[in-house]
Structure 1
Amino acid sequence: MTYSDIIYEKNNGIAKVTINRPEVYNAFRPKTVTEMIHAFRDAWDDNKIGVVVLTGTGDKAFCVGGDQKDRGGDGYSGAGGLGNGIGMEIEELHNTIRNIPKPVIAAVNGYAIGGGHVLHVICDLTMASDKARFGQVGPKVGSYDAGYGSAYLARVIGEKKAREIWFLCEQYGAEEAQEMGLVNKVVPHEKLMEETEEWCNKILEKSPTALKMLKYSFNADSANIAGITQLAMGSLAMYYRSEEALEGNQAFIEKRPADFRKYYKG
């Protein structure tokens, strides 16, 4: 595959997937997701690769989720997305990152917001720049992730904090994210990739079979979330066709506050 939305590199046992859409803060569209799935599957099949790094191009953003300009009343502009109906294969990407039998490190270089926040949560480890920002926006733009993005997030940081992140849609700095257990380590921005590669090399010194079995074991504890994700994506496809969801989407595109109060009916 020829990549246009990502950069995919392999070197000394490390595969690096970089979302390459800095003009939109590395927001993903269906093509981006398809390319990421292909890259992760290549890393999965390559026995010389022992660890994968996911990051974003530039100094501003890791990823800010789905590109809202590519979304309409029928979801995103791509194909059905393996039957989930939202127009991109985001569920397949989540499952691929989660199930690849090799550790995946998110190197968060800036904003990790919305669907981008979900991506880093699903990764096994998160290394964050001291300039990184974390948060959700789904309920502000007429969207949500009721699968890994919420249920697994609650496993990582606890129910109360996970509900706060989704219900308030505020942003959190790297240090606060580390305090809540959302991030493993915070490093100076200019040393992010250096520190990430150091962790990669430490991982490559370990038994690949042991790491694979440990990842399977960790995943087994929350395997039921895969079923929740299927339900979540199905409901999201229906929600995207509602006036309420379209209000959030259009408000974002028009750069105005969304008027959701009219959907609270007494």
Structure 2
Amino acid sequence: MAFLQANIYSNVLEMEVSVNVVLPQKTEKKIGTATKTKGNFTDVPVLYLLHGMGGNHSVWERRTSIERYVSDLGLAVIMPSTDLGWYTDTTYDMNYWTFISEELPTICHELFPQLSTKREKTFAVGLSMGGYGALKLGLAKPEKFGAVASLSGAVNLADRIEDLLAIKGRTFWEGIFGPLENVQGSINDPMFLLDQLVASGEKVPDIFLCCGEEDLLLYGNKTMANALKTRNIDHTFKTGPGNHDWVFWDEWIQRVLNWLPLENKKSLDK
């Protein structure tokens, strides 16, 4: 694998943005492993791996062994920094949603032309705030993403404003979303996006939700899973011991990688 640290300029955000990238690389010998990396490394599947509040482009690499986990999967991993923008075009004129959903994929395909442009080989996964962002990408851009996964995501925030206010004050949230009473039924409401997608008749991406049984966001994840079930949307919903922390996320990112529709995956079931 190749691990790259890049600074790219975003015309949307009008600022430099840091991005960490893991790319498959042909190798003849890998010290510390028992396998060689093989493949033609064209049309490479790509995973956009999103961070949560308090994290940045480096946090997945620092808190998990993500590079090792994907080393035999033939999968590229894009880890951008999106600040505290909640993958949303904010009211303070920082358009993080446009950046993550439109500009970043375009830049990545320009810089790394081996990345696949196929829907079925493009994925989004995130934790907490990033779990919200990954689900939002799948529901709002179903033509681009074949599978999305949320780990402990704030996936039903429009109905659970109290969960947000337990984390930060109203001023912070309204700087991002605008008046909180207007979130429901907007592009920032995953439940609304789900209903729009179902009504459109477009193909829904594969969806994976998981949450720790001691996590504050468990109720919201159960509500979203129930909404998917009642709308006859195929999905995977799992809970397990754990809280809103890296002990849980490090274990479950491995399960998500095993769930993704990848040709080279090996079983990580536990």
TM-score (norm 2): 0.38
TM-score with structure 1 setting the length: 0.39
